[in-house]
């Protein structure tokens, strides 16, 4: 269902695939494709990230060709992503003005992870600097 929870109830895959060659299902946050002989269950996932449990998963949508049941995935490059920035990761960069940090922060949902000892004054400086890169939400 997401990166932390698997579905453990409902209709069995074998029962679903006995009804059709291709099953496309929603509700599950993550995309996945399961093959059963010549049949497929395609978990289309959410078209955008819902929370930090979706971090790192590719989001988008599928187009289905009804004539041959082929499908194509298109990645969503427009919606904000959930990103975690740790003090350790930031410390490895030479400067907080690095393009990598700006590209990860701008218009995304950012969580600052305090994973090592740092003074409250330095945390304030980090927060101010990261805020200049215009995150959509900063936690």
Residue 107 lies in a domain: yes
Total domains present in the chain? 2
**Are 69 and 21 in a shared domain?**
yes
CA distance between the termini of the chain: 25
**Longest CA–CA separation in the chain, Å:** 62
Separation of alpha carbons 91 and 10, rounded Å: 46
**Are 107 and 57 in a shared domain?**
no
pLDDT at 99: 78
pLDDT lower than 70: segments of the chain? 1-9, 94-97
Residue 47 and residue 78 in contact, taking contact as beta carbons nearer than 8 Å: no
Separation of alpha carbons 48 and 58, rounded Å: 8
Give the Å distances, CA to CA, from 135 to 21, 64, 85, 128, 138.
Answer: 44, 35, 12, 11, 6
Q: How many of the other CB atoms lie within 10 Å of CB of 70?
A: 10
pLDDT at 92: 77
pLDDT at 48: 95
pLDDT at 94: 63
**Are 28 and 58 in a shared domain?**
yes
Residue 70 belongs to what domain range? 13-75
Residue 44 and residue 61 in contact, taking contact as beta carbons nearer than 8 Å: yes
**Are 100 and 131 in a shared domain?**
yes
Residue 5 lies in a domain: no
pLDDT at 41: 92
Pairing of strands 137-138, 109-113: parallel
Residue 50 and residue 23 in contact, taking contact as beta carbons nearer than 8 Å: no
pLDDT at 3: 55
pLDDT at 135: 97
**Are 65 and 92 in a shared domain?**
no
């Amino acid at each position: 269902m997401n990166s932390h929870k698997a579905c453990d109830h409902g209709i069995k895959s074998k029962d679903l695939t006995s009804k059709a060659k291709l099953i496309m299902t929603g509700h599950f946050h993550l995309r996945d494709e399961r093959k059963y002989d010549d049949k497929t269950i395609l978990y289309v996932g959410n078209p955008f990230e819902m929370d930090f449990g979706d971090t790192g998963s590719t989001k988008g949508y599928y187009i289905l060709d009804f004539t041959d049941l082929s499908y194509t995935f298109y990645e969503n490059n427009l919606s904000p992503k959930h990103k975690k920035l740790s003090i350790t990761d930031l410390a490895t960069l030479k400067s907080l003005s690095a393009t990598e940090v700006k590209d990860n922060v701008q218009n995304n949902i950012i969580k600052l992870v305090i994973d090592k000892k740092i003074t409250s004054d330095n945390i304030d400086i980090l927060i101010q600097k990261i805020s200049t890169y215009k995150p959509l939400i900063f936690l």
